[in-house]
Structure 1
Amino acid sequence: MSKPLTVRRAAVLGAGVMGAQIAAHLVNAGIDTVLFDLPAKDGKPNAIVDKAIAGLAKLSPAPLARKDLAGEIVAANYDQHLDLLDGCDLVIEAIAERMDWKKALYDRVAGHIAPHAVLATNTSGLGIDELAKVLPDALRARYCGVHFFNPPRYMHLAELIPGSATSPEVLEGLEAFLVSALGKGVVYARDTPNFIGNRIGVFSMLSTMHHTREFGLGFDVADALTGPAIGRPKSATFRTADVVGLDTLAHVVKTMADTLPDDPWHRYFQTPDWLAALIDKGALGQKAGAGIYRKAGKSIQVLDPAQQDYRDAGGTPDDEVAEILKIRDPAEKFARLRASDNPQARFLWAIFRDLFHYAAYHLKDIAQTARDVDLAIRWGYGWKIGPFETWQAAGWKQVAGWIQEDIAAGKAMSDAPLPAWVGERDGVHAADGSFGPDSGANVGRSTLPVYARQRFPDPVLGEQAGRGETVMENDAIRVWHDGDGIAVASFKTKMNTVSDGVLDGLQEAVAVAEKGFDGLVIWQHGEQFSAGADLKGALGLLQAGRVDEFEKMVANFQATSQRIKYAQVPVVAAVRGLALGGGCEFQMHAARTVAALESYVGLVEAGVGLLPAGGGLKEIAVRASAKAGAGGDVFAELRPWFETIAMAKVAGSAREAQAFGLLRADDVVVMNAHELLHVARVQARALADSGYRAPLPARQIRVAGDVGIATFKAQLVNMLEGRFISEHDFDIASRIATVMCGGDVDRGAVVDEDWLIRLERRHFVELAQTSKTQERIHHMLTKGKPLRN
């Protein structure tokens, strides 16, 4: 099968936390979705599912890309609606991790699954072949495991687990669907308990818990050592346990204990007494309000198992260990950790040693390649670098020798020998692929056609995609191409902020594209499109009293936006992550935006005491006029935009950005961020091949005028008198209203873009000179959060 599985309608069996969120992500992707559960014993038959759907709006982080998408999920129950399965192309079972319950459900639904449909279980660790025994032979070829990680909208990992009878064509089609339609990173796992992610990830947590006790560390100290300091999430180890749920963690550990009796580390597969005691008390972690950590007033407390009570949290790395962790060379860092007598350093070496040992010993059992292990842990647990990558970067043979020494000395958690292949290699990752234990050789990336859409796939150590041919470059921006006639502009500033160099570079990039290319894509190598303007540089000009230079910078910003809009070739913005302030304005002026679902878009200038002045307010006035038409109410069109901008709202997804009007309805939303550049170039090519012409200058913009301004101000007066906003908030919002409404002109007056641009710039510069706005900018730069003054 060379193309993705065609999924017109999907069903999810089980409306628990995971099932409901999987259904939510399916509708995020625009897939008609039915969510099933048992009929309610009392009241409406669909009450269980209805409650689960309603609960999606209350979850954080939000499972739905837009809250109203909850209404697109069809509620169903097994007694009345099994006929709805007949039209489904994909059925995902996501009920509780009970073998008997799953088999009973399969008995019930198997006869209703269409002859072409794929049935997948979202089990986190039960055997696929064992579950398949109850299925008809014809369905076994279309049955496999698909393990989504929680929360399924945000976690990139999906483990694909074939059964012995699963058709390769089914697997290829499903893989392509998961990658492109749902935006997932797929790894193939073998049909072994807990697969790859949880097998390695949970072992790492158990190992960390063991060594925390062994070295006499507090849980908060262990978390300070196993979080961002070593490239892992802020939740580190013990906070992660709270987030996952202590009962859930205990269940996974029990599964390992019950199903892996021959594992050389089996004696560690048990829930510690202190953890079992918390579960017995109902202190299950974040969902229960208390677990290993709890909040007491404004302070965070952590469990002290020796005292069987909580104390204030706040542990930090010792100075010696903090200095070691700052070392950039991994080989030197690991050598220092292993040589140190400091208990924290010895703890860190021990958790890495036992992780490397475990992963190497079990690689052949759980995965097809070392790459699958590293990507599973990165995508499923949020680590910046996987275990094998960490080992290789630290010096493969040196570290392997240290592990062997510790095994021989009885210091390791197990005396199991390292596999022979470890000593035969210099690492597991190379330019030609990653080590595959079946062949004993390096295995390259998948050649499935869907991966041709990823110009820059998520690399593992040793992999590097070509950078393309550079066309022009300065300190802030690079323009390059792949020989396809479409130029790509990428920023080089921190967080891709907009500096003078970016402004000048973008204008030059447009000129380069007009001269020698068919289109231009603005795309970033990093995870953020742009965090907005360079506030530090702007504040410096203001504080030095160089207002003329500041105003020229603003004018140049506006000129850059206009240059993007009126380019003679299509300019496409490829957005992911943050697109704030000026970043948002650039994409508003592009011929088209292609946005990853996880794009957080907003005109947030009010938060720092300013108003959008890169053409954003001008563009909103243009859009409102066009939407209202010749005789429509322009003010009514402006209302939702005004609230969004005055309150500095940031859309929580590309779908929400479309609802806010910051993305257009015909802008393209891409589920997989690694496909963003591909789709943006396709869009630029399609526009060019369709005979693209730049829009005519907007000279007939009908505005809401003085009446619109007065109406907005009346609302603001009520908020001021009710002390919902400050006097400076009132001034900012009034100026936003003034620009959006076209200034002090009659209602329904016609203005042009130049009028609006000058109005926007004047109010921006005036606000920027106020002391309260400068205080807000300074506070944002130093504290990283808005100041209300």
Structure 2
Amino acid sequence: MRHETLDKRRITKVAVLGSGVMGSRIACHFANIGVEVLLLDIVPRELTPQEEAKGLTLESKSVRNRIVNQSLEAAVKTNPSPVFSKHTLRLITTGNFEDDMAAIESADWVIEVVVERLDIKKQVFDQVEQHRKAGTLVTSNTSGIPIHLMAAGRSDDFKAHFCGTHFFNPPRYLRLLEIIPTPDTKPEVVDFLLHYGDKFLGKTTVLCKDTPAFIGNRVGVYSMLALTHLVDQLGLTVEEVDKFTGPAMGHPKSATFRTADVVGLDTLVNVANGLAENAKDDEAAGVFQLPSYIRQMVDKKWLGEKSGQGFYKKIKDDKGNSEILALDLNTLEYRKQEKVKSATLEATKPVEDIRRRMKVYEEGTDKAGAFFRAMHYPLFEYVSRRVPEITDEFFRIDDAMRAGFGWELGPFEVWDALGVKETLDKIKAEEKRIPGYSGEVADWVREMLDAGNDSFYRVENGIRHYYDIRSKSYKPIPGAEAFIILSNIHGQKTVWKNSGITVTDLGDGILNAEFHTKMNTIGGDVIQGLHKAIDVAETDFRGLVIANDGANFSAGANIGMIFMMAVEQDYDELNMAVKTFQNTSMRLRYSSIPVVAAPFALTLGGGCEFSMHADFVQLHAETYMGLVEFGVGVIPGGGGSKEFALRASDEMKEGQIEQQVLRDRFLTIGQAKVSTSAVEAFELGYLQAGKYAVSMNRSRLLADAKAKAIELAEAGYTQPVPRTDIKVLGKQGLGIVYVGANSMRSGNYISEHDQKISEKLGWVLCGGDLSSPTEVSEQYLLDLEREAFLSLCGERKTLERIQHMLTTGKPLRN
């Protein structure tokens, strides 16, 4: 990349042309990162009855902007939301093509997201040419129209700054952003978009050739449709396919047919038809010819969730309970779902490592194992033959499948896990059930093996390399130096480890503490490891990061351990466990070296408390943080209740109304509020101004956290002193808490046990029944917190809540 060029271009305003499902959500995501957005769409041609009733005309501004405003409003109402916070919307200005197109003159980037018709796109670009300033980026979000056709006939400056930027839907959550240049696109423009998408938009940016469906949909739709051709031959049901292609295979829970229902069968069919029309030279083109049952479903308008039924149908039974039926693909009639049983799937369950799990899956002797082989062997052949057609570097196919389709491993990574050489004979011998499947992989794969290179990837000095076909050697994956992948440095950089934590030397005097328990829950082994990490860091290093490569940062404390001690009424042991947890939180804050937490995804309970006590929180934009202990019948007991009292005290000193501050803090814990983004985590009080920063790209999170630890160390980090000046309201605050809890109970908004927990929480936040507002120490509040936690653990209804959570994974309100 030409980084010296990247630094010269700044994106402060983006114009998004087209406010449909994709356009409105792309606009929201740019607003998420603080960019000003102009969102435009067409002018309506007729009034609605409501507009006529109001006496409006086609010249009224509200009418002329009706389409764009309704589209944006509909997008914001969707769940999950396309915005980090409702405050994000202030950055979006709406308008229409006729009145406001001239305003794109001030935009640094114009993104076209109108209907998928070349003639309409060209009309829009005619207008763009009239108003854009020279050098402005112009991109199209098309998912299928050749990019070079859209650039034809445009000015030289337009063509030099034009390319495709294919966001996957929903743009906030799906990480794939395909960059598709034309022969006229300036190389530095391509470099800029790859870098900007990665660092600022948080995407996995994938450079694509201008070929049908680019990379993600070309391979993803092939894979999905290839499965549909296996259904009859292997006698598979809808439920079996979704069970086999779900998390056990490293794919999302929605798997195959449920994903098709969510996306919409019409969308899948449109992409398939486009591939059938435009990829006629593809040796597997027959895959894109839809099976009869899919054609019949489309004819019947069974398109999935948008039409109320697809491969699944939600109904109400005789008792009014919801039930989801599955489609019988032979009769096209809906029936009750059948339980899927498989010895192969059972064998994969205890295998945490996804690569080892793939090997177990492949060796299965039942229908699931046969399906795995029948699916993957043709896929390996297919992707090998797409190089160099759709990309010159095969790793981009893996990137696209992970980021766009949620696979844990891309096809070449799965192939590596199974053994490239060991699989060749199996590929050749597999029954040819899928159109175009010959059993012969591309020549470059055999050439790689013949040269003594037995894998597509290898790790050298902590950096991942890929086999480069042109040079016949291994090269670092571009941009990999910006990422720190813990699995790449395990062993050679491990300083200490036990069953729950690994302490790794990240270099430059910084250690990392990585949890690796189930769901990264926090038990005695993790706590022991954190204390050890701080001991080592204080002696031989200059900073500590708490981060991991798992699916979630931490689901909180190991409540199974708490349940056992409470059931056995071993309160001395439980008291010691809670005190140790509290001491760990306090040690994170009051160690002699800076501690940076790097949370992402689920960061609940103890994971949230540890983050709140770190010197700095470097978190991913998609962090769902919260103190959720009310759901299991207790209050936060690892310093979280104390910390909210401390922060409330600081806010009171800033001139806030004391009772309102207390109420807000109380409700955040009492309602077990979990943030839907990093921004909302700040709004809920889990983060403090000046003590956190957001990484948009999850892959950059650890490197960003390490950089912050170095910065704090080099700034002359000084060990802080425990607080003794925390203002609590005593009886004055307790009155507010008790009255509020009693009124909520009287109105049946909360249960009797909820009321009891609320009063215990209020007792801690108010510092007990002190006669007047008083300044207290952190230790005073920690003792109150621990006492309240232990007393609630002695309640039968608390034990019922914990047991229910352990057995069902869901909270119980009793």
Which TM bucket (shorter chain)? over 0.9
Paired residue type of 1:194: A
Matched, 1:26 2:30: yes
- 1:693 maps to which of 691, 697, 718: 718
Q: Would you say 1:444 and 2:475 are equivalent positions?
A: yes
- 2-side partners of 1:248 and 1:394: how far apart? 33
Q: Which amino acid aligns with 2:752?
A: E
The equivalent of 1:307 in structure 2 is: 331
The worse-fitting range, judged by mean Cα deviation, of 357-366 and 394-403 is 394-403
2:603 is the alignment partner of 1:594: no
Aligned residue number for residue 711 of structure 1? 736
Partner of 2:727: 702
- Residue 604 of structure 1 is matched in structure 2 by 628
After the TM superposition, which residues 66-85 of structure 1 pair with which residues of structure 2 at under 5 Å, given as runs? 66-85=85-104
Matched-pair contact (CA < 8 Å) for 1:53–1:73: no
SS at match of 1:698: coil
| 2:107 aligns with one of 88, 108, 120 | 88
Relative to structure 1, is the Cα distance of residues 466 and 492 closer, same or farther in structure 2, using a 3 angstrom cutoff? closer
In structure 2, relative to structure 1, the CA distance for the partners of 1:142 and 1:320 (3 Å cut) is closer
Q: What amino acid is the match of 1:434?
A: Y
Q: Distance in 2 between matches of 1:783 and 1:324?
A: 21
1:384 paired with 2:408, answer yes
**Which residue in 2 is equivalent to 1:232?**
251
2 CA distance for matches of 1:14 and 1:622? 48
Q: Distance in 1 between matches of 2:527 and 2:349?
A: 38
Contact kept in structure 2, 1:400 and 1:423, CA below 8 Å: no
Structure 2: distance between partners of 1:503 and 1:648 = 24
After the TM superposition, which of the residue ranges 601-610 and 135-144 deviates more from structure 2?
A: 135-144
1:185 matched residue in structure 2: 204
**Aligned runs of 1:46-61 on 2, under 5 Å?**
46-61=65-80
TM-fit CA distance, 1:519: 2.5
Select which of 791, 806, 809 maps to 1:766. 791
- Structure 2 partner of 1:563: 587
Identity of aligned residues (%): 39
| 1:390 CA drift (Å) | 2.1
Give 1:780 deviation, angstroms: 1.2
Q: What is the identity, as a one-letter code, of the residue corresponding to 2:457?
A: A
2:390 & 2:749 partners in 1: Cα distance?
Answer: 57
- Which of residues 436, 439, 445 in structure 2 aligns to 1:414? 436
Q: 1:368 to 1:272 in 2, by over 3 A?
A: same
**Alignment partner, residue 453 of structure 1:** 482
In the alignment, is residue 424 of structure 1 matched against residue 451 of structure 2?
Answer: no
- In 2, Cα distance between equivalents of 1:750 and 1:324: 56
Tell me the equivalent position of 2:653.
629
Residue 515 of structure 2 corresponds to residue 495 of structure 1: no
State how 1:270-285 maps to structure 2 within 5 Å: 270-285=289-304
Question: Shift in Å at residue 378 of structure 1?
Answer: 1.7
**Residues 325-364 of structure 1, C-alpha deviations (whole Å, 9 max, x = no match):** 9898679757756xx6x66654443222322222222222
| Aligned residues of 2:276 and 2:289 also touching (Cα < 8 A) | yes
SS in 2 for 1:57: helix
2:466 alignment partner in structure 1: 434
Residues in 2 aligned to 1:345 and 1:750: alpha-carbon distance in whole angstroms: 65
Residue type of the partner of 2:628?
V
Q: Given the superposition, is the C-alpha separation of residues 467 and 189 from structure 1 closer, same or farther in structure 2, using an over 3 Å criterion? A: farther
AA of the residue aligned to 1:541: M
Query: What amino acid does structure 1 have at the position aligned with 2:658?
Result: V
**Could you tell me whether the CA contact under 8 Å between 2:589 and 2:615 is conserved in 1?**
yes
What amino acid is aligned across from residue 636 of structure 1 in structure 2?
Q
Tell me which residue corresponds to 1:13.
17
Alignment of 1:67-146 (within 5 A): 67-146=86-165
Alpha-carbon distance between aligned partners in 1 of 2:497 and 2:734, rounded to the nearest angstrom: 44
Q: Secondary structure at the match of 1:364?
A: coil
Moved more, 644-653 or 230-239: 230-239
The SS at the match of 1:81 is helix
Structure 2 counterparts to residues 339-350 of structure 1, below 5 A: 345-350=369-374
Structure 1, unpaired ranges of 5+: none
Q: Report the CA distance between 1:116 and its aligned residue.
A: 2.5
> What's the TM-score, normalizing by structure 2?
0.90
Distance 1:49 1:331 in 2: 46
Query: In structure 1, the residue corresponding to 2:513 is in which secondary structure?
Result: strand
AA aligned to 1:732 is I
Structure 1 residue 111 displacement after superposition? 2.8
- Alignment partners' CA distance in 1, 2:382 and 2:713: 54
Matched residues, number: 776
Relative to structure 1, the CA distance from residue 559 to residue 329 in structure 2 (aligned partners, 3 Å threshold; closer, same or farther) is closer
Question: Which residue is 1:262 aligned to?
Answer: 281
Q: Which residue of 39, 51, 58 maps to 1:35?
A: 39
Provide the secondary structure at the position in 1 that maps to 2:531: helix
Q: How far apart in 1 are the matches of 2:13 and 2:726?
A: 43
Whether the 8 Å CA contact 1:477–1:505 is kept in 2: the answer is yes
Q: Distance in 1 between matches of 2:755 and 2:223?
A: 53
Relative to structure 1, the CA distance from residue 725 to residue 394 in structure 2 (aligned partners, 3 Å threshold; closer, same or farther) is same
Corresponding residue of 1:751: 776
Native 8 Å contact 1:223 1:239 kept in 2: yes
Matches within 5 A, 1:146-161: 146-161=165-180
CA distance in 1: counterparts of 2:517 and 2:246, whole angstroms: 26
Q: Residues 573 and 270 of structure 1: is their aligned pair in 2 closer, same or farther, counting only changes over 3 Å? A: same
- 5+ residue gaps, structure 2, are 48-61, 317-321
**Aligned AA (1:420):** D
Structure 1: which 4+ aligned runs deviate by more than 6 Å? 324-328
Q: Secondary structure at the match of 1:479?
A: strand
CA displacement at 1:430 relative to structure 2 = 3.1
Structure 1 residues 400-441: Cα deviation after superposition (integer angstroms, max 9, x where no partner): 2333345xx76552265543223333355132733445x162
C-alpha distance in structure 2 between counterparts of 1:325 and 1:494, whole Å = 13
Alpha carbons of structure 1 residues 606 and 403: separation in structure 2 relative to 1, 3 Å:
same
- The answer to whether the aligner puts 1:290 opposite 2:314 as a matched pair is no
Cα distance in 2 between the residues matched to 1:252 and 1:631: 58
Per the alignment, do residues 326 and 769 of structure 1 end up closer, same or farther by CA in structure 2, a change over 3 Å counting? closer
Instruction: Classify the secondary structure of the residue corresponding to 1:384.
Output: coil
In the alignment, the residues of structure 1 paired with residue 484 and residue 548 of structure 2 have an alpha-carbon distance, to the nearest angstrom, of 12
SS at match of 1:110: helix
Q: Distance in 1 between matches of 2:474 and 2:105?
A: 40
- Distance of 2:356 and 2:721 partners within structure 1: 56
**Bigger mean CA deviation after superposition, 2-11 or 723-732:** 2-11
Contact 1:353 1:412 (8 Å CA) reproduced:
no
For the Cα contact (< 8 Å) 1:324–1:336, is it kept in 2? Answer: no
> Are the equivalent residues in 2 in contact too, given 1:634–1:703 (CA < 8 A)?
no
Shift of the 326–255 alpha-carbon distance from structure 1 to 2, 3 Å rule, reads farther
Cα RMSD after superposing both structures: 2.5
**CA shift for structure 1 position 38:** 1.2
* 738-747 or 599-608, larger mean C-alpha shift: 738-747
* Counterpart check, 1:168 vs 2:187: yes
One-letter code of the match for 2:765? M
The verdict on how the C-alpha distance between 1:496 and 1:217 changes in structure 2, with shifts beyond 3 A counting, is: closer
- CA deviations on 1:530-551 (whole Å, 9 max, x unpaired) are 2211212222222222211211
Contact 2:194 2:207 survives alignment (8 Å): no
Instruction: State the secondary structure of the residue aligned to 1:668.
Output: strand
Please show how residues 498-537 of structure 1 align to structure 2 within 5 Å.
498-537=522-561
| SS of residue paired to 2:334 | strand
Shift of the alpha carbon at 1:468? 6.5
Residue of structure 1 equivalent to 2:810: 785
Post-superposition offset of 1:659: 0.7
Native 8 Å contact 2:161 2:185 kept in 1: yes
Task: Determine which of 712, 724, 730 is the counterpart of 2:755.
Answer: 730
Distance apart, 1:9 and its partner CA? 1.4
Q: Which amino acid aligns with 2:24?
A: A
Write the distance in 2 (CA, Å) between the matches of 1:566 and 1:336: 51
